[in-house]
Structure 1
Amino acid sequence: MAKQDLAKQVFDYVLKQYGTQPEYLWKSYPDYAVLRHADNRKWYAIVMNVEKTSLGLSGTGKLAVMNVKCSPEMLSVFLPQAGFLPAYHMNKNHWMTVLLDGSVDNDSILFLLNASFDLTATRQVKKQLGIARYTEWIVPANPKYYDVEKDLREGGEIYWKQSNNIALDDIVYMYITEPTGAIRYKCLVLEVNIPYRQKRTDDLQVKRVMKIRCLKEYDKNLIPRAKMAQFGVTSVRSPRHMPYALKQEIALLTGDASEK
């Protein structure tokens, strides 16, 4: 999206992506547009023109803004950044205001818009759109217990502790904890639900494992923890889904269209 008329481009995007038409519900505020689901009628965004002073900003005149629903983790990441404010006239524990004046990059706008849609969608809609179950994951690897960087290289295969949600043919991005603190490998899940009967010398309990193959190896400086935090991934203590916007960023950094 270009800087000019971002609100209109948001409307164009949701029409193409979700079939959503903006709804103008208030005669007193004819330029306030609600974006909501057709089935459950829940809002996932509202686009408004609001006085700067009402937003707690200096100056006069109005700004185009968009309210989106967010997880608490996303609020903690985005609110300290320029272009993001506590939700205007909505629950500040679950919503956030995004300025549509060019101060927020296009990828973040679409990421937050899609995330808000996901948070408010019914299971049926998620299934139709292919977001009912996540298929790409970020999985932590602690070198204190196992030096995965020593054993895992492109084309290499290893066995790894399996989460309940990970399935055959899913993609696993291995995040190596400190002192590396970065995503280092992209892997394909080859087998799941493999019984694990060996004794471990640490305190970790492992009942089953999965077999994964390394598809790509990334430089440790390419996707560090600071980069991940820009897309809402502030910690990886257990397997968690890969945000679509972060996946796109990795594709951009690596020049690999297959990762988009």
Structure 2
Amino acid sequence: MREAIFRYVKETYKTEPDYPFSTAPTYPVLRHADNRKWFALLMDVSREKLGLKGTEHVDIINVKLGDPMLVDMLVRQPGYFYGYHIARSNWISILLDGTVPFEEVCRWIDESYAVTASRQKKQKIRPPKEWIVPANPKYYDIVHAFDSAGEIDWKQGRGIRTGDTVYLYAAAPVSAILYKCKVTETDIPCHYSDRALTIPALMKIRLLKRYRPDRFTFEKLKEEYGIYAVRGPRGVPHSLGEALKK
């Protein structure tokens, strides 16, 4: 399974194994190219050191997970252990003798890669997010924004990436969410600036759905979903996200 893992990380992440330990030359490390952090360490240890019967050596892979509760759940299953020699910081060890299927091992390698990535890389590889983005009718006719085009340019908020979902909220006097949009492109250069507005970058958003102005009003957002202000791009609470999808 070692060779299968090496092929997987090379194809998926363009990563080659690194052997940094002079005292353990058979222990390869898999690390990020930018921050040099490990996202996996392969070792061969005796079964008895893992609390298993027998003294023969077996391969394991150490990976880091983001949720300590998930760690506690996994180590109750066959083939999973608290991190051997790396017990801190949510590391686990996975037996590579077939007890845990290869596809499942790859899933946790992916998780570890994401957890240990640099901040810049995390932004790029994170799953799509949902945002509420405000629009001021004083500066833009948001009510008629999509009357003549299904896709428009919009000011890009910090943290928003291609593939994210944006719900456009029209400020007073409308005071309601009007549109659901998909972000199709980001980081479009822009150098607009005046006394009221500065736009350093644009994104393209494609209309997916319209909402009646009386459907998701500010009063409803406040009373039912705990949203008391929409002054800039913000995340969407789960309960509101489910309602917006209906």
Segments of 5+ residues of structure 1 without an aligned counterpart are 1-5, 138-163, 171-187, 210-237, 241-260
CA RMSD of aligned residues (A): 3.3
1:166 deviation in Å? 5.0
Q: Is 1:42 the equivalent of 2:37?
A: yes
Q: Percent identity?
A: 33
1:55 deviation in Å? 1.6
The runs of at least 4 consecutive aligned structure 1 residues that moved more than 2 Å come to 123-127, 164-170, 188-192, 197-200, 202-209
Aligned counterparts of 2:129 and 2:226: Cα–Cα separation in 1: 24
Partner of 2:182: 169
- In structure 2, relative to structure 1, the CA distance for the partners of 1:90 and 1:21 (3 Å cut) is same
Aligned counterparts of 2:108 and 2:115: Cα–Cα separation in 1: 10
Question: 1:1-260 counterparts in 2 under 5 A?
Answer: 6-71=1-66, 72-127=68-123, 130-131=124-125, 133-135=126-128, 166-167=165-166, 168-169=181-182, 190=209, 196-197=217-218, 204-205=225-226, 239=238
1:31 deviation in Å? 1.1
1:91 deviation in Å? 3.0
With normalisation by structure 2, the TM-score equals 0.56
Letter in 2 for 1:134: P
> Does structure 2 conserve the Cα–Cα contact (< 8 Å) formed by 1:196 and 1:208?
no
Aligned counterparts of 2:122 and 2:227: Cα–Cα separation in 1: 32
> Does structure 1 conserve the Cα–Cα contact (< 8 Å) formed by 2:64 and 2:89?
no
> Does structure 2 conserve the Cα–Cα contact (< 8 Å) formed by 1:83 and 1:103?
yes
Aligned counterparts of 1:69 and 1:10: Cα–Cα separation in 2: 16
Letter in 2 for 1:115: E
Letter in 2 for 1:83: G
Aligned counterparts of 1:53 and 1:98: Cα–Cα separation in 2: 15
Which has a greater percent of strand?
2
| 1:49-100 deviation digits (Å, cap 9, x = unpaired) | 1111122211121111000001213212311111100100013342000111
Aligned counterparts of 2:53 and 2:104: Cα–Cα separation in 1: 24
Aligned length: 160
Letter in 2 for 1:135: P
> Does structure 2 conserve the Cα–Cα contact (< 8 Å) formed by 1:65 and 1:100?
yes
With normalisation by structure 1, the TM-score equals 0.53
SS at match of 2:40: strand
Letter in 2 for 1:190: K
Aligned counterparts of 2:23 and 2:116: Cα–Cα separation in 1: 27
